[in-house]
């Protein structure tokens, strides 16, 4: 897996990524996922990362990007048929 932009988050990121990949290939793709069991690990990773994003001023840039992305969401989250 790839590194985090904040090296202090690498360890928790790796644990989360491994959990996610297992869930994705073994449950999500097979249609047997009932819940997101990696959520607790994601919360830890998110907590670490959000500090770094704030400290570097990336959080405000992200907000703009999210606003710009609304059209993509509308197009690709649409239910099929």
Binding residues (CB under 8 A) for other proteins: these are 1-6, 9, 13, 16-17, 20-21, 24-25, 28-29, 31, 33, 36, 42, 45-46, 49, 53, 58, 61-62, 64-66, 68-69, 72-73, 76-80
Closest CA to 49 of 62, 68, 67: 62
* CB of 49 vs other proteins, minimal distance in Å: 6
Axis crossing angle, helix 39-55 with helix 10-23, rounded to the nearest 10: 140
State the minimum distance, in angstroms, from the CB of residue 23 to other proteins. 10
User: Cβ distance 21 to 63 under 8 Å?
Assistant: no
């Amino acid at each position: 897996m790839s590194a985090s932009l904040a090296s202090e988050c690498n360890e928790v990121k790796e644990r989360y990524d491994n959990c996610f990949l297992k869930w994705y290939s073994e449950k999500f793709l097979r249609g047997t996922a009932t819940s997101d069991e990696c959520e607790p690990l994601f919360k830890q990773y998110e907590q670490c990362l959000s500090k770094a994003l704030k400290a570097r001023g990336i959080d405000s840039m992200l907000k703009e990007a999210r606003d710009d992305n609304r059209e993509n969401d509308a197009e690709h989250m649409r239910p099929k048929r």
